[in-house]
Structure 1
Amino acid sequence: MRLRALTRTGVAAALAVAALATGAVTTAVAPAAHAATGNLRITKVVVNGGKDIVLTTTAKKVTITATVSEDSALKEVWIDLENEVGDQLNFHAGGVATCTGTGTVKTCSRTVTLDPRGDLIHNGLAGPRNWKAYVQVEARDGDYKSGDYPSVGVRRATALIGDAGPEPVRKGAALTVTGRLTVANWNSNTWTGLAGQGVQLQYCKYPCTAYTTVKTVTSNSTGNLRASVTATADGYYRWKYTAPYWVAPSISVTDYVDVR
């Protein structure tokens, strides 16, 4: 069962159903937001250290940190990571945060888990759009503040392998470089070939100081790559995938070729 398009008011019940079906542990839904009151301020919110979340086929923990300015003690801070389109809440994870700091500035953090093995993470959630952090703060003196804050994107991880041959190769002869581009498939929880993607074949002459792109190859229906080049000198070959917004870039392990 894969749950989608959940409203904020209905997500708690839906997550409970998913938990019964999968054995997953879910968090409660944050209380409804209210208007800001008092001099409390949320001055900064950072998700995953400001870097996109790259998710494979296993669970990943992500920390969300909010900096709060308030002249009294904090009663409760709630932090969520959400994927929402309009009033449809597709993914939700979070809960009560832990806060540190003295004086008027406090740093509050909450770690959440994104797990594609559950029912709530699927390929349609990949990318930077619709992801946000929700922060709600209540102080002892009654001050209150809540709101949505920009989040980093969540990308599907990719992987590249490569091999060059024959080895060793005669100078001036043809050298064939093969490879394969795969991507984390959150729907099937497997790694599958990524088709129709431009991948750069790069070369670095020995002793290696900088790589240059010698060809760009489009991956076939199963993610396989193949290119032919002329062997000129000893050096290293690798594949490099720069990636669009919904998947993560990757680079293959280098393959050294002895040219004789």
Structure 2
Amino acid sequence: MRMRPTVAVTFLTATLSASVLPATAHAADPAADSTTFSHVVVNGGKDIVLGPTTRKTVTITWTAQDPEGITASWAYLWHGPNTDDADGILPQYPPTGTCVVSAADPTTSTCKVSFTVDAARDVGHNALAGAWKVLAGAQDTSDDWTETDVAGMADIKRSATVTVNASPEPVKKGRTITVTGKLTRASWENGSHTGYQNRPVQLQFRKKGSSVYTALKTVTSGSGGSLKTTTKATTDGYFRFVFTGTATTAPATAAGDFVDVR
């Protein structure tokens, strides 16, 4: 499923701006290949978190360098065992990047490409959550082109939500408070959030007048992502559940639920 962009790429210098189409090119001899890619950053270095219907603009930035200079460069995300057997490509029709040639070093270009990821359209399988790789390619002034299959990495994760309810309220000091909630995560396959069970979730408490939460205990989510535990009423404050996330699912924090202790 390897794809090479064919749309125009724009190069900017201090005095010249032009659009060019990569010419029909031949792959450079690997032994003589001198094009390198560095400083590859996806989404500002943050995870790409997608809910069931999220539409999100993602940017990839990178540096391409070749002794002969770069005439075009491109980058996109892919998922799978290798580029020929990729089960996911983002964007589905990769454009070439907009590159700026360094005024101090004409062999070096800094490049950027932005595209929209539509969860409902682009990631229809939950198995696509996790680590994605960045393919970066470039064409030099001799019309040799080079691609590096793993020039960088990015994580695309399913969004998560967690709720909390502490009761009774108000409650007498020393009495038992029951804290319940639910942990869910996005299912890209059915377009909704579904329960996420057998996952550790931390119960935290913040005393009224304080800005700091402290951990009380860890609860394991049950069937359908259900959460339930008990604690003793000590003072007025806020209870919340915090899920720290996994390799495929983003973290989530519930808004604090206030309990009046009398």
TM-score between both structures, scaled by the size of structure 2: 0.79
- Judged with a 3 Å threshold, the aligned counterparts in structure 2 of structure 1 residues 119 and 150 are, in CA distance, closer, same or farther, namely closer
Aligned to 2:118: 115
Q: What are the superposed Cα offsets for residues 143-199 of structure 1, whole Å, 9 maximum, x if unpaired?
A: 543212121211111011112122221111111111111101011111111112111
Q: What does 1:41-80 align with in structure 2 at a 5 Å threshold?
A: 41-57=36-52, 58-70=54-66, 74-80=70-76
Aligned to 1:82: 78
- Is the CA contact (8 Å cut-off) linking 1:42 and 1:145 kept in structure 2? no
Q: What does 1:237-248 align with in structure 2 at a 5 Å threshold?
A: 237-248=239-250
Alpha-carbon deviation of 1:52? 1.8
Query: How well do the aligned residues superpose, as a CA RMSD in angstroms?
Result: 2.3
- Contiguous gaps of at least 5 residues in structure 1: 1-6, 10-30
Which range is displaced more, 229-238 or 206-215?
206-215
Aligned to 2:137: 136
Alpha-carbon deviation of 1:139? 2.5
- Contiguous gaps of at least 5 residues in structure 2: 4-24
User: Is the aligned partner of 1:179 residue 2:173?
Assistant: no
Q: Matches of 2:116 and 2:50 in 1, distance apart?
A: 11
> The residue matched to 2:44 in structure 1 has which SS?
helix
Letter in 2 for 1:98: T
Letter in 1 for 2:153: S
Identity of aligned residues (%): 37
Q: Matches of 2:72 and 2:58 in 1, distance apart?
A: 20
- Judged with a 3 Å threshold, the aligned counterparts in structure 2 of structure 1 residues 144 and 135 are, in CA distance, closer, same or farther, namely same
Q: What are the superposed Cα offsets for residues 99-124 of structure 1, whole Å, 9 maximum, x if unpaired?
A: 12432332111123332212654100
Aligned to 1:99: 99
Structure 1 segments (4+ residues) deviating >6 Å: none
TM-score between both structures, scaled by the size of structure 1: 0.80
> The residue matched to 1:95 in structure 2 has which SS?
coil
Aligned to 2:11: none
Q: Matches of 1:38 and 1:119 in 2, distance apart?
A: 34
Which range is displaced more, 154-163 or 35-44?
35-44
Q: Count matched residues.
A: 231
Alpha-carbon deviation of 1:254? 0.9
Q: Matches of 2:193 and 2:73 in 1, distance apart?
A: 38
Q: What are the superposed Cα offsets for residues 60-99 of structure 1, whole Å, 9 maximum, x if unpaired?
A: 2211111123466632212111112134111112221111
Q: Matches of 1:188 and 1:107 in 2, distance apart?
A: 39
Q: Matches of 1:220 and 1:205 in 2, distance apart?
A: 28
- Is the CA contact (8 Å cut-off) linking 1:178 and 1:226 kept in structure 2? yes
Q: What does 1:183-202 align with in structure 2 at a 5 Å threshold?
A: 183-202=185-204
